[in-house]
Structure 1
Amino acid sequence: MKHTTNHQILIGVFVGLLIGLYIKLNPYAIGTDSIIYVADLIADIFVSSLKMVLIPVIFFSISVGIANLSGHKQSSRIWVLTFSFFFISMALAIILGLGSMNLFEPGRGISLSIFSEQLNNFHLTSIPLSGFIKQFLSSIFVNPFKAMTEGNILGVITFSILVGFAIAKGGKEFFEVKKIFNGLLGITMKIVSWIVKFSPYGVSALIIKLVSQQSPDLFITLSKFIIVIIGMTLFHGIVILPLLLYFFTKINLFILWQGAREAIMTAFATSSSSATIPITLRAVEKNLKVKSDIAGFVIPIGATMNMDGTALYEASAALFIANLSGIDLSIGQQIIVFFTAMIGAIGAPGIPSAGMVTMAMVLQSVGLPLEALAILLPIDRLLDTFRTAVNVEGDIVVSLIVQKLVRKN
């Protein structure tokens, strides 16, 4: 059944591409408005259904996962391995991004003045690193019910971890609670399996929207930057992450793709690591045979904290804007970009336009003009699809590595 769904999602992607291109090339053809309306409707239903189960999946999977891990003789090792590989994979992504920008130098020789219209119409309230960290921490310790209703993923994760520890420490006293949580997690994942059956249509509709609505403005001028970013993001996803996985687990790219493609394709279409969590968990547990306690811990936390594609993009974009501004960043400044991009990639739910705010923080750290972010807005939606797919792949790779290393001991 899993292979059937995987193939249907692939077919959905290609159908979406073809229909999207047809609408783009024939915007006034008969029936175009109806196709766009239906695609928009299906896409909204799909994304809304993912959001519907997102909070229950995060809460129950982490709570149950932590409760089980706490009884595991190597629970502390699992924590250390998880966060160590989060850091390693993001560090590799940032190094790749910085290296490629230094090598290809997109933006060099282009004047910011040609983007005057975009720059004049752009306004952003910036936030310093200290303020960002304060807001980030304040979004962690919040009323759990408020966090759930507002979609504050970090707040939900924090509360879920505490509940999981409480269940584990309670032992026999909370045995029935643990049993109920396991049952509720099973019910939630059953609902996810129904959503997965609908996913080929949802993914196809999202691709139609993406292709048909993308504006060609600035694409030619920014083509070198777009090609470098997409190329390096794909290189990280097709070469670096699979090599890291193979080195520690001997699992090759083909096996990874077979098991993970429904999650990666959904991430590509939705541009949301968080919204993809239910499908990622199902793919990791059912297809790649990662134990539910490890998957339930690594995947939801990774969707918020392990952002390879985003880290690569934010570091690269900083150097791109430096090139446009005629500024040569020193090695020391690029090291600052490295660490700031890693902090920014973690994100801060609850901040309006969080992606732009974190990107602004990276630029501020080395004194680059914030107004230049306006240049990236027209192409951000396209690039976001690729970096989100790699974000999700990174979570899947880490879960497989952690399970393998834990089994060795």
Structure 2
Amino acid sequence: MSILKRYISIPLPYRVGVAFLLGVTFGLVLWYYDMANGSNLGQGVATYVSPFGAVLVRMLKMVVIPIVFFSLIVGSSGLSPKKLGRVGGKVILWYMLTSFLAAVIGVGIAMFVHPGQGVAVDVEKLGSSMEEGGPSITPPSGLTDLILKMFTNPFEALANGEFLPIIVFALLFGLAARVLLDHTQNETERKQIQSILDFASGANSVMFKIVSWILEYFPIGVFSLAVVNFGLYGPSIIGPYLKAVLGVISGIAIMVFIIYPILLSLILKENPIDFFKRAKEVMITSFFTRSSAATLPVTIKTAIESFKIKKELAEFSLPVGATINMNGVCIHLPMWAVFATDVFNIDLTVSSLVIIIITTVLSAIGTGGVPGGSLMLLFIVLGTLGLEPNQIATIVALALGVNPLIDMFETMNNVTGDLCCTYIVAKKEGMIDE
């Protein structure tokens, strides 16, 4: 077996983790050397190394709009009102409710720990290669402004780098296409609409393939970014990193081991321990695959065989959940949003926090099943705060190194939430095979 094949055979999270640790070590060695000798070696190395990390950040930004746009069209067009019915509607409501709760928890913990406090990041110091061209985004000044911005011309939004109107347009486009397919009697019109949806589905598959290629570049980019960040800022950045990581994991633990058990106890009057015993295979599988979509066969099998959920509900609800129910992501994104406001001294009002929650819930719908998809959504959430493009790139660069670790926990949260919501609806609607 060649060295390249051996390298590729190693699971990606391990490759990224090792690259991050090596980058941290090398960066800290440079920083301590500069401190001991009064030199500027770290800045010099950063000049040559940072382009490799900048390429990764730019590649993520390159794919974020197309993958969110096509994923939302495919996902929303699959929600047929005829197929959905009353039970399907309840499933969607439960998914949106738990996503909202997760986002509130994420914001609450982030505001409690303030992970970016004490970090002074100079984007100029990181080197010009990290700076992203493009227009800055004016943040919504309140809820009314946010609602108005949702319905901006999508092409104007695309030119201005505004993500939220694109999300809303894609959702409406997919839903409108589905309604027309269900009700039109014109066979020619039906074929035309179906061809558009087939194109969106094919384009979505192509984007997933491009993302898989980008993921293979992750170790190189993460190594570069770790060297630059720790070489320039030294051990002072370790504390904020730990606060961000532990804050997200704590939020996920609250969601999985407190919120879900409370829902099961209050609504179904069941012992939550029994739920976790039956769901453990799904939770373990999702933790290591880091993909809701990859875990889906195991999730459906567990739902039908262990939870006795009727097949027709499991095969509808769980694939939908893998697309739109991103509870872990809804905890993760607010942490880095607050991190950014701490670093760049942006005042957060109540309206700003509500905007973060709404944007997080809406944007999280768009990357279901993509390993590391939350990183792409950072561009969307940070954009609503009015950060400059180079500031957004800097925060994404800081988040990249620890994302594979966080991604394992958030995917486990996502899939557990899918199963919990589906089980609640199944029990309440009598869709359990006794």
TM-score of the superposed pair, with normalisation by structure 1: 0.62
Q: Which residue does 2:257 correspond to in 1?
A: 238
Q: Which residue does 1:190 correspond to in 2?
A: none
Match of 1:133 among 148, 168, 174: 168
Q: Indicate whether 1:259 and 2:278 are aligned.
A: yes
% of aligned pairs identical? 24
Q: Secondary structure at the match of 2:386?
A: coil
Q: Render the CA deviation track for 1:108-129: whole Å, top value 9, x for unaligned.
A: 1211228943885364874431
Shift of 1:226: 0.9
Output aligned runs, 1:160-309, within 5 Å: 220=238, 221-309=240-328
Q: Is the 8 A contact 2:222 2:400 kept in 1?
A: no
Q: Is the 8 A contact 1:139 1:350 kept in 2?
A: no
Q: Indicate whether 1:103 and 2:122 are aligned.
A: no
Output aligned runs, 1:7-406, within 5 Å: 38-40=9-11, 76-113=85-122, 116-117=125-126, 120-121=129-130, 123=132, 126-135=161-170, 137=172, 141=177, 143=195, 145-146=198-199, 149-150=202-203, 152=205, 220=238, 221-347=240-366, 355-369=374-388, 370-371=392-393, 372-406=395-429
Q: Render the CA deviation track for 1:219-266: whole Å, top value 9, x for unaligned.
A: 725111111111111221111122212221233332222222222222
Q: Render the CA deviation track for 1:99-154: whole Å, top value 9, x for unaligned.
A: 1111111111211228943885364874431133334555675645545555559x
Judged with a 3 Å threshold, the aligned counterparts in structure 2 of structure 1 residues 328 and 119 are, in CA distance, closer, same or farther, namely farther
Q: Render the CA deviation track for 1:291-321: whole Å, top value 9, x for unaligned.
A: 1111112101111111111111112221111
Shift of 1:348: 5.0
Q: Is the 8 A contact 1:249 1:400 kept in 2?
A: no
Q: Is the 8 A contact 1:66 1:293 kept in 2?
A: no
Q: Render the CA deviation track for 1:131-181: whole Å, top value 9, x for unaligned.
A: 33334555675645545555559xxxxxxxxxxxxxxxxxxxxxxxxxxxx
Name the CA distance, whole Å, in 2 between partners of 1:250 and 1:124: 55
Judged with a 3 Å threshold, the aligned counterparts in structure 2 of structure 1 residues 350 and 388 are, in CA distance, closer, same or farther, namely closer
Judged with a 3 Å threshold, the aligned counterparts in structure 2 of structure 1 residues 329 and 376 are, in CA distance, closer, same or farther, namely same
Shift of 1:66: 8.4
Judged with a 3 Å threshold, the aligned counterparts in structure 2 of structure 1 residues 123 and 267 are, in CA distance, closer, same or farther, namely farther
- Ranges in structure 2 where 5+ consecutive residues have no aligned partner: 15-73, 135-160, 178-193, 207-217, 231-236
Judged with a 3 Å threshold, the aligned counterparts in structure 2 of structure 1 residues 38 and 350 are, in CA distance, closer, same or farther, namely closer
The count of aligned residue pairs is: 297
Q: Is the 8 A contact 2:322 2:368 kept in 1?
A: no
Q: Is the 8 A contact 2:292 2:369 kept in 1?
A: no
Q: Render the CA deviation track for 1:195-235: whole Å, top value 9, x for unaligned.
A: xxxxxxxxxxxxxxx99x98676672511111111111122
Shift of 1:353: 8.8
Which shifted more, 249-258 or 121-130?
121-130
Shift of 1:394: 0.6
Name the CA distance, whole Å, in 2 between partners of 1:214 and 1:257: 35
Name the CA distance, whole Å, in 2 between partners of 1:262 and 1:268: 10
Q: Is the 8 A contact 1:344 1:361 kept in 2?
A: yes
Name the aligned partner's letter for residue 313 of structure 1. H
RMSD: 3.9
Q: Which residue does 2:60 correspond to in 1?
A: none
Which shifted more, 75-84 or 281-290?
75-84
Q: Is the 8 A contact 2:291 2:371 kept in 1?
A: no
Q: Secondary structure at the match of 1:111?
A: coil
Q: Secondary structure at the match of 2:292?
A: coil
Name the CA distance, whole Å, in 1 between partners of 2:370 and 2:417: 24
Q: Which residue does 2:18 correspond to in 1?
A: none
Judged with a 3 Å threshold, the aligned counterparts in structure 2 of structure 1 residues 353 and 395 are, in CA distance, closer, same or farther, namely closer
Name the CA distance, whole Å, in 2 between partners of 1:98 and 1:309: 12
Judged with a 3 Å threshold, the aligned counterparts in structure 2 of structure 1 residues 39 and 253 are, in CA distance, closer, same or farther, namely farther
Name the aligned partner's letter for residue 329 of structure 2. T
Name the CA distance, whole Å, in 1 between partners of 2:286 and 2:371: 21
Shift of 1:354: 5.8
Name the CA distance, whole Å, in 1 between partners of 2:164 and 2:303: 35
Q: Render the CA deviation track for 1:1-41: whole Å, top value 9, x for unaligned.
A: xxxxxxxxxxxxxxxxxxxxxxxxxxxxxxx9997565459
Name the CA distance, whole Å, in 2 between partners of 1:290 and 1:279: 14
Q: Which residue does 1:18 correspond to in 2?
A: none
